[in-house]
Structure 1
Amino acid sequence: MSGPGAPGTGPASLTRPAGNLLTDNPALYEARFPDPGRLAGRWAEHCLRRHGAGPRVLDMGCGTGRDAAHLHEAGRAVTGADLSEAMLGYARAHHPGPCYVRADLHGFDFGPAAFDAVVCLDSSLLYCHTNAQLDGFLASCRRALAPGGLLVAEMRNGAYFLGRTDLLGTPAVHTFTWQGTGHRSTTTLSVDRTAQLLRRRRLWTSDDGSPPVEQHSAWRLLFPLELLRFLTAHGFEALELHDGPGPRTEPAWQDGSAPGASTDGDRLHLVARRLNSTH
């Protein structure tokens, strides 16, 4: 939360959070990661439409609600789920339309066959750090999906870091303005091979003299063939698995772009179907 009171209000200074700076400050998240063209939501809707998904959609790890709201505006009945109460409060206030509920990515239960599709964007799936957590997510998705339902996900590609170091070690600095104050996020990535994690260290600074805030987080380094094995074990068939184009690739996905055929790039894009057979 950006300050005392309602989400998105209060001073622009960075305060040391009890949890995660981005998830506790949804307005800061949208300032740091703007998506004015709703590219992520449009890509997800394109995947759902291309594979004939029904109208009931669960956006798992919905964050600020931007993508859930876009899917709602496209005519779908959307439930946005997130673990952060600050994110959910912000989503209800700033991106109304979907039903927003609190749920854990590692295991959730909305009842059997409650949805026609589950969407999981912006590497949210990679917060499943362990095999047990990934099993919990996929088992929950299978239970929540009607037979033939879709899982659409977009994430970092663990295979990209096999032998590549261009994104590692060197700090990446991003400057932006939030509530009239200049801010900088300096992100350094490193690979934890033992845990199979891509670790992130972010240092946040601002022009108003607030003390720096340091944050640590991590994504699972999930490899394409490994992901396919998990999907098969949970009764899914992969319809698409490729490295782009997508909402965070260069060049970015555009309306009508065809999915690629390789899995070598920095991002990984998945469309999988829940098989009808009993699992």
Structure 2
Amino acid sequence: MPTAARNLLTDNPALYEARFRDPGRLAGRWTEDCLRRHGAGARVLDMGCGTGRDAAHLHGAGREVTGADLSEAMLAHARAHHPGPEYVHADLHGFDLGRGVFDAVVCLDSALLYCHTNDRLDAFLSSCRRALVPGGLLVTEMRNGAYFLGRTDLLDTPTVDAFTWQGTVYRSTTTLTVDRTAQLLRRRRVWTASDGSAPVEQRSAWRLLFPQELRHLLAGHGFAVLELHDGPGPRTEPPWREGRLPGATADADRLHLVARLTTPH
């Protein structure tokens, strides 16, 4: 039987980067493009910064970046391998890093969807509202809840993926299911490794948010939506590239949001 782990990849940041390679810093470049097109100032908070790759890219683009994460392992890796930003411990379910300190808050790779309840979503948006200057931006990228309305191609059937790191082959078997009552996309993943270590089971979930629901939530916290679309973005196919403008639909499996704070505290 597999043993339980909080999260094999986030507990092992080097392994995480080996699994989710981004040598061209596509996510960071997409984010910088959003910030530049909408005239964001230099001070950026990367909330859920993970290993620090995107925060470091924004720092290299000339921004004053703070990376925040709940994982001390991720923060230690970021400080050692992606220096430049300031890295701090904070919880996206509610944080206080100062009032009016940032020109933009960035929250990538579905990190926002770890706010599973309405109370946690409200706490995140209230924290962003406090942290931003008037006119500051919120830039997020996540799974699109609307994709799962009537679609089952990603659900219920296990998918297998594998990659090699430091001579060991890591194989994951992943099953996604929809919990309609909780409005969650639940993921069960079992890891095996060729080094003979015991299998590891990981369970996690994302809140399924819908485009109109997001607009309503944001308006309630003083944000005006500037962009809300399904691509192109850093995880779409084909992926975003310089010069590509956002689309007008919100139907595919990724959702991209840029909103401006119009009613600060």
User: Is the pair's TM-score, using the shorter chain for normalization, greater than 0.5?
Assistant: yes
Q: Which amino acid aligns with 1:187?
A: T
Cα distance in 1 for residues equivalent to 2:49 and 2:80: 14
Matches within 5 A, 1:144-223: 144-223=131-210
Residue of structure 2 equivalent to 1:230: 217
Cα distance in 1 for residues equivalent to 2:4 and 2:53: 23
Shift of 1:127: 0.3
Q: Which amino acid aligns with 2:189?
A: R
Q: What secondary structure, in the 3-state scheme, does the structure 1 residue paired with 2:30 have?
A: helix
C-alpha RMSD of the superposition:
1.2
Residue of structure 1 equivalent to 2:77: 90
The reply to whether residue 254 of structure 1 matches residue 254 of structure 2 is no
- Name structure 1 gaps, 5 residues minimum: 1-14
8 A contact 2:146–2:251 mirrored in 1? yes
Cα distance in 2 for residues equivalent to 1:101 and 1:78: 11
8 A contact 1:82–1:104 mirrored in 2? yes
Cα distance in 2 for residues equivalent to 1:95 and 1:240: 29
Shift of 1:169: 1.2
Q: What secondary structure, in the 3-state scheme, does the structure 1 residue paired with 2:10 have?
A: helix
TM-score (norm. length: structure 2): 0.97
Cα distance in 2 for residues equivalent to 1:18 and 1:216: 9
Runs ≥4 in structure 1, deviation > 4 angstroms?
Answer: 15-18
Residue of structure 1 equivalent to 2:92: 105
Residue of structure 2 equivalent to 1:5: none
TM-score (norm. length: structure 1): 0.93
Residue of structure 2 equivalent to 1:40: 27
8 A contact 1:17–1:24 mirrored in 2? no
Shift of 1:173: 1.4
Cα distance in 1 for residues equivalent to 2:231 and 2:15: 28
8 A contact 2:134–2:264 mirrored in 1? no
Count residues in correspondence: 264
Shift of 1:19: 2.6
Q: Which amino acid aligns with 2:145?
A: G
Cα distance in 1 for residues equivalent to 2:5 and 2:165: 21
